[in-house]
A and B are shown apart, each in its own frame.
Chain A
């Protein structure tokens, strides 16, 4: 089965869970006074469930147009997935998660310099002497712009230092 049908199947499963919540569990906590309303918080989700099931099934069962499709410029060919730098993309995703988890405990400056430097190194950059000053200047100026000009609080250093 092609990937788009697997996605349609996953979508139908999601809609089933969503629909179960909308049809069977959501209305239990509705106060009696709101029950007299023609519209309940679950009305719109119920309509979406029905529409979602119909559309999901159509995508799942519509026959695909025959013949090979012309390859799009620069698109990823799923049959040759191993030829791409999948591990690099995966490592960057892990790095993003690590950034999310360290932003508060390490502070903006430390975690961002770490993210930018490690990200570039992961992608094959080896000129650390350029990388470090670029990351430092960028982080400093962005912190100044956000904190001082825009007035949005960003803790620059680890919590124990301030």
Chain B
């Protein structure tokens, strides 16, 4: 391993490759900040540039720099505007945005920068140690287990997303899954629920839905209730420092979530999004009393958890790509395409055939994380200046970026009408206190969930896979418990409250 590290180090610190890391991180951060342009589209756009370079090592270094730069930049717009540019940073807005509204935008961005740096770096160390071993664990998972794992993820998200309103969160999850079935189906290419409309053939666009669920209602709420904006528009980003106590309280969170996020990232299909949501849910659940109540209202732990988890998961998603040649996510699938175009076949032989590529990428991850930290911390006061813009200017611009984000994805004006329609529905749902994150995550995971479910059903000729595969059964039982336990607790609390009211 030491020999490999040295090979990687010598390749990665060549001036050209260093420039690629810096360039990749810069481009990724800047574009990732714009709500709507996620890492997938940025990497897809950068592919011709990367292939033009010709050197696979430099190309992969550039693309991976763009990848974590985009995730890193996405958290900035999540925190400042509540408009996540990337699905993986949706969970960061739960506590990051309330912090910004309390006038702690500087602190929130510092925590995000440090947590991302720590998550990415710990992820890179783990990748180096576990890459070969983990791939064999991931191989044990069949589609049945993937299906069950996703059900666990969805149940956990529903169970923790809404405090004391699990049923509402579940309803939103199912609505998300239902929306995910619109368009061409999992196994056959039969269009479903399109009502004969060509525009719905490929289903709803994730970006449009994400914009409609988060950015649009937020902008409309800002319009309807200007006092809402007044609380956060202090624009003073003078408190960049975090205190010793705060550092102490988030250190274990970052440590735990970096490790958990990495392992979730390794599993194909899970990725940064589910890692960040699960990370948030787990930390919220293990927090005690007052700290738990703080979650969703500007808790530093609630921000540090998804930030470290999503960056660690991004690193983790390179494991199946580099060691098995199987992309675990849409983004790594695009990377795989770029590598194949450069005559590099990722897989078990990558480490032996082209060790310079493998190790240089790992070393460049350390360098990339350092670049991101150096880049973001000094820039924070400038980035946060966005909050001082008067709302009469800011709101039309937020709406415009929302519209552009969904337009650029599909290059189709119908998408904008769908965006407005969903935005109105999301605003009404928010009026009634329905959590919207489960809807979006249900929508994102829906297709993968159905794919794996269909594969498992075909392999076992029916529902037999649930009983025949103990791990699947165990995971599904866990999912049921996750949903039922909080509901039962809520039911008992309600009964007790009724009892007290009756004078029992």
Is B223 within 8 A of A89, CB to CB?
Answer: yes
Q: Is A86 an interface residue (CB 8 A)?
A: yes
**B218 → A minimal CB distance (Å):** 11
Tell whether A59 pairs with B494 under 8 Å between CB atoms, given A41-B188, A84-B224, A151-B45: no
- Is residue A116 within 8 Å, beta carbon to beta carbon, of the partner chain? yes
Known: A38-B457, A43-B457, A56-B171. A85 touches B462 (CB 8 A): no
Could you tell me if B190 and A123 are in contact, using CB atoms closer than 8 angstroms? no
| Complex Cα–Cα for A150 and B223 (A) | 32
How distant is the Cα of A7 from the Cα of B175 in the complex, in angstroms? 12
Q: Is A23 an interface residue (CB 8 A)?
A: no
Given that A89-B220, A99-B416, A152-B408 are contacting pairs, would A45 and B192 also be in contact in the complex, using a CB cutoff of 8 Å? yes
Which residues A54-74 have CB closer than 8 A to chain B?
A: 55-56, 58-59, 62-63, 65-66, 73-74
Q: What mask results when residues 13 to 27 of chain A are scored 1 for a CB within 8 Å of chain B, else 0?
A: 011001001000010
Cross-chain contact B420 with A100 (CB below 8 angstroms): yes
- Could you mark each residue 28-41 of chain A with 1 if its beta carbon is under 8 Å from any beta carbon of chain B, else 0? 01100010011101
Contact between A41 and B187, CB atoms less than 8 A apart: yes
Give Cα A48 to B323, complex, Å. Answer: 36
Residue of chain A at shortest CB distance from B190: A41
Inter-chain contact A100/B424, CB cutoff 8 Å: no
Chain B contacts with A in 165-187, Cβ cutoff 8 A: 167-168, 170-171, 174-175, 177-178, 181, 185-187
Q: How far is the CA of A123 from the CA of B394 in the complex (A)?
A: 10
Query: A63 contacts which chain B residues (CB < 8 A)?
Result: 494
Taking a contact as CB atoms under 8 Å apart, the answer to whether A119 and B396 are in contact is yes
Taking the complex as formed, is B294 at the interface, i.e. its CB lies under 8 A from any CB of chain A?
Answer: no
Nearest B residue to A94 via CB reads B420
Interface size class on chain A is: 35 or more
A124–B193 CA distance with the chains assembled, in angstroms: 42
**In the complex, what's the smallest C-beta–C-beta distance from B159 to chain A, in angstroms?**
13
Is residue B350 within 8 Å, beta carbon to beta carbon, of the partner chain?
no
Of B45, B187, B393, B498, the residue contacting A150 (CB under 8 A) is B45
Contact B192 A41 (CB under 8 A): yes
Enumerate chain A residues within 8 angstroms of B414, measured Cβ to Cβ: 100
- A148, CB-defined interface residue at 8 Å: no
Do A58 and B392 have beta carbons less than 8 Å apart? no
B327 CB, min distance to chain A CBs, angstroms: 23
A89 and B224 in contact, given A55-B174, A73-B231 (Cβ under 8 angstroms): yes
Q: Contacts of B192 on A, CB cut-off 8 Å?
A: 26, 41-42, 45
Query: How many Å from the CB of A110 to the closest CB on chain B?
Result: 14
In the complex, B413 has a CB within 8 A of chain A: yes
Instruction: Contact check, B174 vs A52: say whether CB atoms are below 8 A apart.
Output: yes
| A55/B400 in contact, CB under 8 A | no
Tell me which residues across on chain B come within 8 A of A26, comparing CB atoms: 192
**A99-135 Cβ-contact flags toward B at 8 Å (1 or 0):** 1110110000000100110011001110000010010
Q: Report if A137 contacts B (CB, 8 A).
A: no
Contact A4 B433 (CB under 8 A): yes
Q: Which residue of A lies closest to B195 (CB)?
A: A21
Interface size on B, residues (CB 8 A): 70
Q: Verify A146–B408 contact, CB threshold 8 A.
A: yes
Instruction: Enumerate chain B residues within 8 angstroms of A37, measured Cβ to Cβ.
Output: 187, 458
Q: In this complex, what residue of A is CB-closest to B171?
A: A55
User: Which of A29, A39, A58 meets B457, CB within 8 Å?
Assistant: A39
B399 at the interface (CB under 8 A from A): yes
CB of A161 within 8 Å of the partner chain: no
Cross-chain contact B224 with A76 (CB below 8 angstroms): yes
Q: Residue-by-residue, is B143-168 near A (CB-CB < 8 Å gives 1, otherwise 0)?
A: 00000000000000000000010011
Kindly state whether residue B411 has any CB partner on chain A within 8 Å: yes
Given A7-B429, A74-B228, A100-B416; A48-B408 close (CB under 8 Å): no
Which residues of chain B have C-beta atoms less than 8 A from A43's C-beta? Answer: 454, 457
Per-residue 0/1 for A78-89: is the Cβ within 8 Å of any B Cβ (1 yes, 0 no)? 100000111011
B461 engages A38 (CB within 8 Å): yes
Contacts of B170 in A (CB 8 A): 55
Residues of A within 8 A of B219 (CB): 92
CA of A103 to CA of B417, assembled, Å: 12
Q: Which of B227, B390, B399, B404 contacts A74 (CB 8 A)?
A: B227
Question: What are the residues of chain B within 8 A of A97 when measuring CB–CB?
Answer: 416-417, 420
Q: B226 near A: Cβ within 8 Å?
A: yes
A92: contacting residue among B190, B223, B393, CB under 8 A: B223
Alpha-carbon separation in the docked complex, A18 to B498 (Å): 38
Q: How many whole Å from B92's CB to the nearest CB in chain A?
A: 19
Partner of A138, one of B397, B399, B403: B397
A103 and B404 CA atoms in complex are apart in Å by: 11
Q: How far is the CA of A131 from the CA of B394 in the complex (A)?
A: 12
Q: How far is the CA of A37 from the CA of B170 in the complex (A)?
A: 30
CB of B290, distance to nearest CB on chain A (Å):
15
A residues with CB within 8 A of B = 2-4, 6-8, 11, 14-15, 18, 21, 26, 29-30, 34, 37-39, 41-45, 48, 51-52, 55-56, 58-59, 62-63, 65-66, 73-74, 76, 78, 84-86, 88-89, 92-93, 96-97, 99-101, 103-104, 112, 115-116, 119-120, 123-125, 131, 134, 138, 142, 146, 150-153
Jot down 18 A-B pairs with beta carbons below 8 A, ordered by A: A3-B431, A30-B188, A39-B187, A39-B458, A55-B170, A59-B168, A59-B171, A66-B498, A76-B225, A88-B224, A93-B423, A96-B416, A96-B419, A103-B407, A115-B396, A116-B400, A119-B399, A123-B396
The 9 closest A-B pairs by CB, nearest first: A119-B396, A100-B416, A125-B392, A74-B228, A4-B432, A41-B185, A84-B224, A39-B457, A3-B432
